[in-house]
Amino acid sequence: MSGIARRLMGVTKVGGLIQYISSSVGRSANGVSSLSITKPSGTSNGDLLIAVLRGGGNSGTATITPNQSGWTTEIADTSLGFPNPWYVFSRNASSDPSSYSFVRSASTGTFDGVICLFRGGSNSVNVVGSFTNSSGTSLTAPSITPSANGLFIVAYSWNGTPIISVAPSLTALNTDLNNDGIAGTTVIYGGNATSGVATGSKTLTISSSADWVAAQLSLE
């Protein structure tokens, strides 16, 4: 589990709570070491960006590194099969370029990711993450307990096979890349967070067994 505080400077508050604005996705082909993802539409200075990246099936201690400064590593998982390595980064936008680029240290499999844009809430945002990894058809992100009202997001990554179902309380923030579940997939869902109330574990079901990683993050 990890947590950080992020100040959102000069951002208009909407309903007093942080809100999801937009997202961008990207994928590089098998064997390519770099990945570029377009800046989400509407990004302004001070906005919170969450990047979830799947390295594609490298063994050992492969890593993912942002090419731009200002990203903070929230989760780094290098322990399981085809999602390996799997990283979650965060940053506050500040005169950002039109796209962001990332490099993986080993180049097996495809390289894909999602960047989501959030705005509003209090003057600080707490990001608290918990993750698990396994193999099978049920991808379950462990419960977290937010420390303030806001949003929680659930990130899933796996190798292949389409989605069958997802926890009914969740709303999709991005679609499966190409909507096919093939050659690796990263999807993010969101829900309303209540201070001091556990979110409960959240399960996504896929059509056939695969290596996977899942996490919940609280944005407050």
What pLDDT, on a 0 to 100 scale, did the predictor assign at position 67? Answer: 93
Q: Of 182, 156, 177, which Cα lies nearest the Cα of 167?
A: 156
Nearest-angstrom CA–CA distance, 203 and 205: 7
At 51, which helix (H) or strand (E)?
strand 48-54
What pLDDT, on a 0 to 100 scale, did the predictor assign at position 93? Answer: 92
Query: Around Cβ 189, how many Cβ atoms within 10 Å?
Result: 21
Do 34 and 28 meet the contact criterion of CB atoms below 8 Å apart? yes
What pLDDT, on a 0 to 100 scale, did the predictor assign at position 164? Answer: 80
Q: Of 112, 6, 8, which Cα lies nearest the Cα of 51?
A: 112
What pLDDT, on a 0 to 100 scale, did the predictor assign at position 184? Answer: 62
**Hunting for tokens 């909407």 — which residue is that?**
14
Q: Of 202, 206, 112, which Cα lies nearest the Cα of 160?
A: 206
**pTM of the entire structure?**
0.85
What pLDDT, on a 0 to 100 scale, did the predictor assign at position 50? Answer: 92
By residue count, the chain amounts to: 220
Q: Of 4, 188, 176, 191, which Cα lies nearest the Cα of 90?
A: 4
Every domain of the chain and the residues it spans: 2-219
Low-confidence ranges of the chain (pLDDT < 50): 1-16, 122-124, 178-182
Alpha helices of 28-107 — where are they, by DSSP H? none
What pLDDT, on a 0 to 100 scale, did the predictor assign at position 181? Answer: 45
For 178, the 3-state DSSP assignment is helix
What are the φ and ψ backbone dihedral angles of 171, each rounded to 5 degrees?
-115, 130
Residues 83-95 as b or e (16 or more Cβ within 10 Å = b) = bbbbbbbbbbbee
Do 49 and 92 meet the contact criterion of CB atoms below 8 Å apart? yes
Beta strands in 106-177 (DSSP E): 111-120, 124-141, 150-158, 163-166, 171-172
What pLDDT, on a 0 to 100 scale, did the predictor assign at position 106? Answer: 77
In sequence order, which residues have a C-beta less than 8 Å from that of residue 11 and are 6 or more positions away? 44, 46, 47, 119, 120
